[in-house]
Structures are given as C-alpha cells and as structure tokens.
Chains A and B, each alone.
Chain A
Amino acid sequence: MSSETNGTAERFAIGISFGNSSSSIARLNAEGKAEVIANEEGDRQIPSVLSYIDGEEYHGTQAKAQLIRNSKNTVAYFRDYLGKDFKSIDATPCHNSAHPQQSDSTVAFSINDTTDETPNTVTVSEITTRHLRRLKQSASDFLGKQVNAAVITVPTDFKDAQREALIASANAAGLEVLQLIHEPVAAVLAYDARPEAVVTDKLVVVADLGGTRSDAAVVACRGGMYTTLATAHDYELGGATLDKIVVDHFAKEFMKKHKTDPRENARGLAKLKLEGEATRKALSLGTNATLSIESLADGIDYGSTVNRTRYELLSGKVFAQFTGLIDQVVKKADLDVLDIDEVIFSGGTSHTPKIAQLARNIFPEKTNILAPSTFIGAINPSELAPRGAAIQASLIQEFEKEDIEQSIHPMVTATPHLQNAIGVEFTSGETVDFKSLLTAETALPARRLAQFPAPKEGGDVFIRVCEGVREIKVTKPEPKPKEEKPAKTEDDEDDSDFDSDEDEEEEETREIVWKTEKPIAELAVKGVKAGSKVELMVHVNADLGLQITAKEVGGQSAVRGVVEAPKA
C-alpha cells in the first residue's frame, strides 16, 4: 500500500446489489462461500425505501410499511433516477410515494425529513447516500468490522453519468467503490463460483426479472471470461405488473360484496398493493395464499384466498411478456434457442414457478434452466447479484486502486473475439464431421487442448484444423398423405382446432450442424499406436496468428507449426 495512507489503508469490502425495489448486501464467509447478509430486521432483500417521521429515519421494510400512512415522506424506486435529467425519467412507480421533482439539473424529493414543519428538498443523490449508509451500517454491525469499500451491481444500460453519480453517492456514504459490475454478469459469476461448477465454454441467457423493470442479457462464457453479446430491457414489466393482477382480482371481489372500489381510495390502494405483493410472493412458494386487510375501505375488514392455478390463469399474458423478453434477447444476439446452454433466472420475480416452466418449453432439453422450480441446485434468484458482487469484491479488495483502474480500462477489456469456431475436421468415408475446439466469440488470445482418439488400427494420423460455422438444419418429417384434406395454404392456419394435433405430427425437428468453412492448417502425426489418442493444442494470438501442436498422448515427439497472422 502507498505510504500516504498510513494505517487506514486496509479495506473491508462487501458486495452490494442496489435495486429500485430492493437491495442486498453480501460477503464471503469463512469457508469462502458468498453469503447474503440480513439486516437488523432479518431481511436479506432490503426494500430500497426511506421514510421519515418526526425527523426519524426509517429504512427497508419499516419504511415500506409507511407507504400507507406516511406516503408523502417516503421515498421509493429512486435508483433509476440517479444521474438522470428530470425530463428523461418515468415517475410512474413513485405514484404512491414522494413524487420526484426537478431541482436544477437533477431529480429531488420534497420531504419532511426533520422535525421542522417545512419540507426539505433532498436530491436523489442524497437519498442514495442515506440508503447506502444504512446498508453499510447493517453489514458492519453483522460482520463486526467497519465496512469501507464495495463492489456494486448496475444494469447493463446504466449510462456514464449514472455510474458517476452512484460512485459519488457511495463515496459520500463512506464507501469506496472498487468497481461497478453488470447485474447479469454478477449472476453468472455467482453460479460459476460454486465449487462444483466447471469452467466451460457456454452461452448463457440471464433473465433478471425485477420489481419495476426486467432485463435480459446473452452472455458468452469462454474459458471463464464473459462477454455480453446482447441485452434487452423492459421498463414496465416486473413483479409490480403481477401485483396489479392480484390487486385487481381482490378489488373486484371486494366490489361484488360491498359496492365500493378500494382502489379509489389512496390508502386502500396502498394497503392492497402491500398485501397483494405478499400474496403474490406466497403463491411462488405455496399453491394457496390468503390476503387479509383490516379496514380496507369504508372501515370494512377484508379477507380472501386465491390459488395458484387461478393466479396463473389471470397472469398468462404477463408471463408471456417475460418469456417474450427472453426470446427477444436471443434473437438480438443473432442466435437460436438451440445455441443457448444455460438460462439463469435472477431477480425477485424469478421465484414465480410458471415463468421458468414456460421458459423450459421454449428451449431444447439440453438447455439448463436455472430457477428454483426447474433445477434443484438453483441459487435463490434474489441473491445472485449480491453474491456475484461479493465474489468480485473479495477478488479485488487486495489490489491497489490503480491496479483495478488499469485492469478495467477499455484498453484491457476491448479484445478481439473469434468470428467463427476453430476445430478439427473428421472425415470418415462420405461424412465430414467437425469438432469445435475454440468456439465463436472466444476472446483472444486463447488456447485450448483436446484429445482425439486415433484410428483403431493406428498408423499415421492426419489432422486438419478448420474454421467451422454452425447452421441450423430443419428437417421436416415426410408429410403423411391424407386424401380428405387438400394441401394447406397459409390462410388455413387459423381455421380449425382439430388441425392442431396434426400440426404436431408435422412438427419440424431443428438441430445444429457444423459446416467446415475454411481450412487453416494440416498436420500429420506419424506412427501412432493402435487405440491411443492424439493430443492437439491450438493457441490463437490476439493478432490471429496460430500455434498448433499435436502429439500422441504419452509420446515424445510433437508436431509443431505456426500459422502466420493474416495481413491487413
């Protein structure tokens, strides 16, 4: 550490996920596993809400409860306002809490945060600082050590101004921001850091379903390094959309009995929203959930139940929007669902069993759907981002600030990626098979090692290193001749229901096939023993030069060669 920082230089870093709806704090425990820390109220998902009564500050769940009686002095859903121009924000989520206002070039809230009668104008940056200070305090209390640094997760579309504003707010709260990392990448890291996980080349879709917005991203994992290929965002879709369905359902039931609409009364609506959210969450765990509210409207108490089937029926359209977002991001990356190896469900709304089941139907069977209802080893979706941040924090907290800045500099992150896969061509008779060694979108420089079985009879082995392109082969089964039905035209598609099982029979099978495009190098390994294996190592430099080594496993002599980089 540098000499100027005498003694105080020691960092104690945590991972923070800072969301519009809720935030979490995490830290690696003694066994080196990431652990989400509960605050003094026992919450691991701490609502990003601050509320003030008589100059006293309430935070988290306590503040959220104030949305009913003290909504004007309660600030919620402020993360996305940070570092933004007032004109560019969407104030809809703040309808039932303190309203955002313009204050110079930034967004502010007018709240009674002191014992004075007159309200103060508090900027969103100041609100964020207060929120982060409380999170820091909770973590410090739990860990028994003063936390002074953090890795914070942000959405992929966070602009530079938002990043700077967040860093400034965190610094004001006494937190050194070691790094801001992207939420989907944090989720992938949380899974990849498990001891049982193996580093492989894979394509992952991260569906981050939040409270007021949902994001999806396609991340290429190559040798443990991550590259985001595409992102998609929906700023109106989230758990709140589902809450509204529950609220409307109960409100209608209430109206049938009592002839008044509880949604017309601000306090009634606030109560319904709070309890509706709890009911919706309960339906992710159980198949039945109750809702009971004291004095909902006109002083009438209300209690009812709803089962999961009913809820899923009402929410069908919204569920389709979630899966639509996943579909959209895969298309945006110019990929097919067949290319995807893993779907990681992240964010609070990912607890909903039906959404993961619907995703299961979109993707082929080999794709792993990592959600609580489809995968037993799934990590709690709410905890992925904070865990990823905690892992990253532990990796870099020993680094000097300069080292971190240099490492995350664009000079380092901007890297050439392979356009096509590089692999080996196998010819056996008529069929040409391709086994990829380095997949497309691999960051350079990279190297891969693989072993291939030599021909049974042994002898000389010929290796042809090629570029390969994956294609999707659509095979339509032979249409069954049916005399009574003439050939269908496109217009007939929607005409009758009993067509449907016939359609299923004709369902086309789609599969990935590899086509070798362009040979790169040819090698011969001579005198290989029968039944042994040939080891091949391909090293691709950043300038696209190749070094290739091949030898018999256990053998002494190796065949080496260099392919020159293409001339620009």
Chain B
Amino acid sequence: PSLPAGWSAEKDFKAVGTVSAPTQRNLEPVGPHFLAHARRKRHHRTFSEDERI
C-alpha cells in the first residue's frame, strides 16, 4: 500500500502496539529443526549467530 499523506515517524518506523500473550505449549523434540532450536536455546544464541557457526 502507498504511504498515507501526513504519516511520518522517526527513522520511518513507529511501534504502535504489542503482541498478544503467548500460549505455553510443548514442542515435540523431534526432527532437524527442533534440534537446531534446542542448540540455540541451550547456548543462548540467536538465529544469525547460529548461522555463522
């Protein structure tokens, strides 16, 4: 969509809300993507840090 007239924000970004509360669920500890997730979580890495290794 096009920029509405009169819209402006610092550095062109404006936070206007927050995400609804999450539901706590259990992941199934299966599959390559989970193992990658577990690795990140245990070493407190972010996605991009993990990719570099």
Indicate with 1 or 0, residue by residue over A207-240, a CB within 8 angstroms of chain B CB atoms: 0000000000001000111111100000000000
Q: Within the assembled complex, what's the spacing in Å between the Cα atoms of A519 and B16?
A: 6
Are B42 and A395 in contact (CB-based, < 8 A)? no
Q: How far is the CA of A392 from the CA of B26 in the complex (A)?
A: 18
Q: How far is the CB of A535 from chain B (nearest CB, A)?
A: 15
Contact across chains for B2 and A416 when beta carbons are under 8 A apart: no
- Of B12, B17, B23, B27, the residue contacting A518 (CB under 8 A) is B17
> Which of B9, B13, B19 is packed against the most chain A CB atoms within 10 Å?
B19
**Would you call A241 an interface residue if the criterion is a C-beta within 8 Å of the partner chain's C-beta atoms?**
no
Q: Say whether A406 faces chain B, with CB atoms less than 8 Å apart.
A: yes
Whether A520 touches B32, Cβ cut-off 8 Å, given contacts A460-B3, A525-B12, is no
Chain A at the B interface: SS class = strand
Interface size on B, residues (CB 8 A): 38
- Check if B14 sits within 8 Å of A521, measured CB to CB: yes
Question: Binary interface profile of B, 1-42, with partner A (CB < 8 Å = 1, else 0)?
Answer: 111100101011111111111111111111111110111011
- Determine whether A168 belongs to the interface, using a CB cutoff of 8 Å to chain B: no
Inter-subunit contact B17/A519 (CB<8 Å): yes
Contacts of B4 in A (CB 8 A): 462
Chain B contacts for A229, CB-based, 8 A: 25
Whether the Cβ atoms of A467 and B20 lie closer than 8 Å is: yes
C-alpha spacing A422/B19, complex, angstroms: 8
Identify the stretch in A44-52, A442-450, A490-498 within 8 Å (CB) of chain B at 4 or more residues: A442-450
Check if B42 sits within 8 Å of A523, measured CB to CB.
no
Which one of A406, A443, A524, A565 lies within 8 Å of B9 (CB-CB)?
A524
Q: Is the interface of B mostly helix, strand, loop or mixed?
A: mixed
* A228–B30 CA distance with the chains assembled, in angstroms: 12
**A560 at interface by CB-CB < 8 Å:** yes
Is A455 engaged at the interface, CB distance under 8 Å to the other chain?
yes
A445 & B47 in contact (Cβ 8 Å cutoff): yes
Number of residues from A at the complex interface, CB < 8 A:
74
Q: Which one, B16, B18, B30, B38, contacts A185 given CB within 8 A?
A: B30
Give the Cβ gap from B15 to chain A, nearest Cβ, in Å.
Answer: 4
Given A412-B38, A462-B2, A226 contacting B17 (CB threshold 8 A): no
Chain B, Cβ-Cβ closest to A460? B3
Pick the contact of A418 from B16, B22, B38, B46 — CB < 8 Å? B22
From known contacts A415-B26, A416-B24, infer whether A522 and B14 are also in contact, taking CB-CB under 8 Å: yes
Write out the residue numbers on chain A whose beta carbons fall within 8 Å of the beta carbon of B11. 559-561
A residues 427-471 touching B (CB-CB < 8 Å): 427-428, 441, 443-445, 447, 455, 459-464, 467
Roughly how many angstroms separate A521 CA and B14 CA in the complex, as a whole number? 6
Complex alpha-carbon distance, A185 and B39, angstroms: 20
Instruction: Tell me if A179 is interfacial: C-beta within 8 Å of chain B.
Output: yes
Knowing A225-B34, A462-B7 touch, does A419 contact B22 (C-beta < 8 A)?
yes
Cβ contacts A527-568/B at 8 Å (1 or 0 each): 000000000000110001010100000000001111111100
- A441 contacts B25, C-beta separation under 8 Å: yes
Which chain B residues border A560 with CB–CB below 8 Å?
Answer: 11, 13
Bound CA–CA A181/B27 (angstroms): 12
Do B29 and A522 touch across chains, with their CB atoms under 8 A apart?
no
Q: Are A546 and B19 also in contact (CB < 8 A) when A426-B1, A462-B1 are?
A: yes
List the B side residues contacting A179 at CB < 8 Å. 29
What's the minimum C-beta distance from A442 to chain B, rounded to whole angstroms? Answer: 10
B3 near A417 with CB under 8 A, answer no
The 4 closest A-B pairs by CB, nearest first: A224-B33, A561-B13, A416-B22, A460-B3
Besides A560-B11, A562-B15, 8 other A-B contacts (C-beta < 8 A): A223-B33, A225-B37, A407-B29, A418-B19, A441-B25, A519-B17, A524-B7, A563-B19
